[in-house]
C-alpha cells in the first residue's frame, strides 16, 4: 500500500518526444492525475550533463547510446510534485520498452513506428526518476538543488 507522501520528481520529455511535439500532451497527462508541474524548461544537454544524468548506467552496454540519444536534440525537463509523484509519473510513462507499455500510458500511446536509433537505443519519449535519491540528484542536474 502506498502512503500519501508529498514528493518531487524529474520528468524528461526526451528529444524524440519534443521533436514530435508531444510535450504539451505529456504535461497535460501529468496535470490530469493531480500532479503539479512546478518547473518546466527546454534544454539541450551537454555530454557532461548527460553523463551525470546516466551515471548509474556507466559501464552498461547501452550507456554510450543513451548519451548520444539524449544529447541529439532538445528535451523538456519538468519538476513534478504531488502525492507519490515518483510512482505516479512512472505509472503514467509505462514500461521502459514501448513495445511492452500498456495502452493509456505515455510510452504505450505515443510509441513511434521506428523506436530505435541506428545503434539500437530505444527511443521511449520520457524519463522519470526511480527513487527519492535519484529525483534529488537528477533535478539538481537541470535546476540546481530544490527544497
Closest CA to 36 of 71, 90, 88: 88
Q: Is 137 annotated as a binding residue?
A: no
Do the beta carbons of residue 30 and residue 11 sit within 8 Å? Answer: yes
- Is 43 annotated in a binding site? The answer is no
47 within 8 A of 72, measured Cβ to Cβ = no
Does 145 count as an annotated binding residue? no
Residues 31-54: b if buried by 16+ CB within 10 A, e if exposed: eeeebeeeeeeeeebeeebbbebb
Among 44, 125, 26, residue whose Cα is nearest residue 80 = 26
Q: Is 110 annotated as a binding residue?
A: no
Catalytic residue selected from 53, 127, 128, 129: 127
List the 75-83 sheet strands across, edge first. Answer: 36-43, 75-83, 6-13, 126-128
**Is 116 annotated as ligand-binding?**
no
Give catalytic status of residue 74 as yes or no: no
Residue 107 annotated in ligand binding: yes
> Could you give the 3-state DSSP secondary structure of residue 41?
strand
Question: Which residues define the annotated binding site for ATP?
Answer: 14, 62, 90, 96, 107, 124
Question: Which residues define the annotated binding site?
Answer: 14, 62, 90, 96, 107, 124
Active site residues: 127
Amino acid at each position: 500500500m502506498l502512503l500519501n507522501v508529498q514528493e518531487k520528481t524529474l520528468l524528461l520529455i526526451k528529444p524524440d518526444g519534443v521533436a514530435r511535439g508531444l510535450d504539451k500532451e505529456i504535461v497535460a497527462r501529468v496535470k490530469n492525475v493531480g500532479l503539479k508541474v512546478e518547473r518546466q524548461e527546454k534544454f539541450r544537454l551537454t555530454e557532461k550533463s548527460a553523463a551525470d544524468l546516466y551515471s548509474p548506467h556507466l559501464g552498461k552496454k547501452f550507456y554510450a547510446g543513451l548519451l548520444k540519444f539524449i544529447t541529439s536534440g532538445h528535451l523538456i525537463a519538468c519538476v513534478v510534485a504531488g502525492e507519490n509523484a515518483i510512482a505516479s509519473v512512472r505509472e503514467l510513462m509505462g514500461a521502459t520498452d514501448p513495445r511492452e507499455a500498456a495502452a493509456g500510458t505515455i510510452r504505450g500511446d505515443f510509441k513511434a513506428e521506428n523506436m530505435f536509433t541506428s545503434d539500437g537505443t530505444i527511443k521511449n519519449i520520457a524519463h522519470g526518476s526511480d527513487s527519492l535519491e535519484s529525483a534529488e540528484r537528477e533535478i539538481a542536474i537541470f535546476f540546481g538543488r530544490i527544497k
